Amino acid sequence: MQKAWFYNEYGSINVLQSGEVPVPKPGPDQILVKIRTAALNTVDFKSADSDFPVVPGCDAAGVVVEVGDGVSKFNNGDEIYCHIPNFTAGRPKQWGTLAQYTVVGEYLVAPKPTNLSFEEAASLPLSVLIAQQAFDIAKFEKGQSVFIVGGAGGVGSLAIQLAKHVYGASRIVSSASTGTLDFVKSLGADLVIDYTKQSYDQVSEKFDFVFDTIGDSTKSHVVAKDLDIASFQSHPRDQFFELIPSAHNLEKLQPYIESEKLKPVIDPKSPYSFSDVIEAFIHQESGRARGKIVISPM
pLDDT digit string, tens, across residues 162-171: 999 999 999 9
| The residue count for the chain | 298
Kindly state the DSSP code that residue 210 receives in the 8-state scheme: E
Kindly state the average pLDDT of the residues 85-99: 72
Q: Is the pLDDT of residue 215 over 80?
A: no
Can you name the residues that pair with 239 across neighbouring β-strands? 229
Closest CA to 18 of 29, 8, 30: 8
CATH class as words, domain 126-240? alpha beta
**Alpha helices, DSSP H, located in the chain:** 118-122, 125-137, 154-165, 181-186, 217-220, 247-258, 277-285
pLDDT in tens, 121-130: 999 999 999 9
Q: How many CA atoms lie within 13 A of 12 on its CB side?
A: 6
pLDDT band at 28, cuts 50/70/90? very high
In sequence order, what DSSP letters do the residues of 107-128 get, joined into one string?
GGEEEPPTT--HHHHHTSHHHH
Share of the chain above pLDDT 70, in %: 89
Same fold for the pair 2-124+265-295 and 126-240: no
Q: Is the pLDDT of residue 112 over 90?
A: yes
Domain ranges of the chain: 2-124+265-295, 126-240
Share of the chain above pLDDT 90, in %: 69
Whole-number pLDDT of residue 160: 98
Q: Is the pLDDT of residue 233 over 80?
A: no
Q: Is 253 in contact with 262 (CB distance < 8 Å)?
A: yes
pLDDT in tens, 139-182: 999 999 999 999 998 999 999 999 999 999 999 999 999 999 99
Q: Is the pLDDT of residue 46 over 90?
A: no
Q: Is the pLDDT of residue 247 over 80?
A: yes
* CA pair distance 149, 192, nearest whole angstrom: 10
Q: Is the pLDDT of residue 227 over 70?
A: no
What CATH number belongs to 2-124+265-295? Answer: 3.90.180.10
Q: What is the pTM of this model?
A: 0.90
Whole-number pLDDT of residue 217: 58
DSSP H or E segment with residue 162 = helix 154-165
Question: Which of 41-55, 124-138, 193-207 shows the lowest per-residue confidence on average (mean pLDDT)?
Answer: 41-55
Closest CA to 60 of 87, 33, 92: 33
pLDDT band at 86, cuts 50/70/90? low
pLDDT band at 6, cuts 50/70/90? very high
pLDDT in tens, 257-296: 999 999 999 999 999 999 999 999 999 888 788 889 999 9
Q: Is 100 in contact with 5 (CB distance < 8 Å)?
A: no
